[in-house]
Structure formats: C-alpha cells, structure tokens
Amino acid sequence: MNARRWWQGMVVGLVAVGVAFAAIGCGGGDDDDSDGGTTVVVVTNVVNGTTVVVTNVVETPPALVAPQLVSPVNGWEANVLLLLGTGYDTTFEWTAVPGAVAYVLEVNGAETVLTGTTVVQELGYGEYEWRVWARNAAGANGPKSGKFSFKISPLVFEAI
C-alpha cells in the first residue's frame, strides 16, 4: 500500500473521532505503489491539543545500469584446430550490477538467463555478437550493454 492510501485511510478514522490532521508528502504525485520518499502525517487531537507525527518511508530500489562486457573482447578472433570436438569453449564475462539478481546473456539473438557474471559456452566456427543486461528482483530488465563481436575460425595447415 502506498503512503497516500495509508494516510487517506487514517484520515477517515481520525475525522470520525474529532481529530485534525495535516499531511506532508515527498515523492511522486500519482496514485501507484512506486512512490519514493517519505510521507509525514501530523495528527493533532482537537480535545487536548496532543500532537502525533507518523512517518511512512517508502524505499525505491536502485535503478539498474548496463553491465560492462569483459570477455571475449570486441574484435577477438580464435584460430582453432578441432580434431575431435564439436566446438570451442568460450568464456563470457561481464561486471556485476548492483541490485541485479539475474543477467540475460544474448549470443547471436539466443538469450540465456544466468545468476552469475561468468559462463562458458561451447561454440562452433563462425562470427558472433554478444551483449548482457541485468534483471532485478521484480523481473524488470535494466539497460542492455553494447554489443561485442568475435570470430572462431578453423586453423588451416598448408601441405608442404
């Protein structure tokens, strides 16, 4: 319940018992539950002049920022000799974001939800683009990082 609805409910009860009130609010003026800041309700008893101050603090979670890509670096190229394998283990790494509970790793359009800041994926030959964004506890996505690109190429030996 947001602060405005709370003190409005208090007003109905206070008016019924003959009490004066004043409300001082800080934060957004709309009627949703995401108001930040503090609402102070000052209640004065009309009969004996007693004053009570009620404070309701509504905390706003910090805004998410874009993670910074660490590895593989932009423009990186691996020349790989694959004799008995299907791909190359590529380590993706990015910086942690305060307030994030998960991250979405996107590699060539395929998204994977992860809880850490490092993951190893086996990739075949080809060109890749990747980026990451954070997700908070409410499931909201933060801004996406920029895209890095890299390439995995076969190592070719020439016959002499």
Residue pair 152/80 in contact by the 8 Å Cβ criterion: yes
Distance CA 70, CA 103 (A): 14
| Residue ending a domain, choose from 58, 79, 94 | 58
**In this structure, are 74 and 128 located in the same domain?**
yes
Q: Is the pLDDT of residue 38 over 70?
A: no
Which pLDDT score, from 0 to 100, does residue 13 have?
A: 45
pLDDT of 36 over the 50 cut = no
For the cut 60, the answer to whether the pLDDT of residue 92 exceeds it is yes
The answer on pLDDT for 5 being more than 50 is no
Please name the amino acid found at residue 157: F
63 assigned to some structural domain? no
Same-domain check for residues 29 and 97 = no
Query: Concatenated DSSP letters for 3-17?
Result: HHHHHHHHHHHHHHT
Cis peptide before 72 (omega within 30 of 0): yes
pLDDT digits 0-9 by tens, 105-147: 999 999 999 999 999 999 988 899 999 999 999 999 999 999 9
DSSP 84: S
**Which domain range does residue 51 map to?**
3-58
Same domain, 52 and 75: no
